[in-house]
């Protein structure tokens, strides 16, 4: 039987040397119920959806006219928890710019970009404060979110 790690990935697929470990910082202890550590990153939505699939997260692509609320989520079965990475459609860009942020759609009406927002943990449909999440679980989830926001980011230049 193949060994798996905390988030259900094959153990051999996990890099162990110099492994990042994320701790709950003081500002997250103040917000208490969510992490904004990776909020505000504009990401390529199709690439995000692909990475979510690879990492075991559930996510359906968002379009402007439908699926107004859908977030990447992952069941954390050993802890009887789940986590959500809230994403949102980009706001319409400055009218002085040639193209609108909401007009950046695929041929099927799917937005090309989404913005990252809060990471929230839940147990039995109730929110769990970030400092109450087991440290190793918190770290593994933040590693996934770091991967999503760093690989899928398009940068901060609005133009």
CATH number of the domain that residue 130 is part of: 3.30.310
Segment 97-122, tens digit of pLDDT: 445 554 576 766 777 888 899 999 99
Sign of CA dihedral 145, 148, 154, 155: positive
Report the pLDDT value the prediction gives residue 88, as an integer from 0 to 100.
Answer: 85
What pTM was estimated for this model as a whole?
0.77
Residue 22 lies in a domain: no
154 vs 42: CA distance, rounded Å: 6
CA–CA separation, 20 and 93 (whole Å): 35
Indicate whether 82 belongs to any domain: yes
Top-ranked range on mean pLDDT: pick from 12-16, 26-30, 108-112: 26-30
Domain count of the chain? 1
Structural domain including 75 reads 27-93+101-151
Question: Is 50 exceeded by the pLDDT of residue 30?
Answer: yes
pLDDT tens profile 86-95: 998 776 555 5
- Identify whether 111 is part of a domain: yes
Asked if the model's pLDDT at residue 15 lies above 70, the reply is: no
């Amino acid at each position: 039987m193949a060994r798996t790690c905390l988030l259900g990935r094959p153990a051999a697929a996990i890099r162990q040397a110099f492994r990042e470990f994320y701790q709950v910082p003081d500002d997250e202890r103040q917000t208490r119920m969510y992490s904004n550590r990776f909020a505000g990153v504009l990401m390529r939505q199709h690439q995000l959806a692909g990475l979510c699939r690879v990492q075991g997260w559930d996510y359906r692509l968002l379009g402007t006219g439908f699926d107004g609320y859908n977030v990447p989520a992952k069941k954390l079965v050993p802890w009887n928890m789940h986590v959500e990475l809230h994403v949102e459609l980009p706001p319409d860009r400055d009218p002085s710019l040639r193209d609108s942020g909401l007009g950046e759609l695929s041929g099927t009406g799917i937005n090309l970009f989404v913005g990252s927002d809060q990471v929230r943990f839940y147990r039995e449909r109730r929110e769990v404060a970030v400092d109450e999440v087991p440290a190793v679980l918190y770290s593994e989830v933040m590693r996934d979110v770091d991967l999503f926001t760093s690989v899928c980011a398009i940068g901060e230049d609005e133009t």
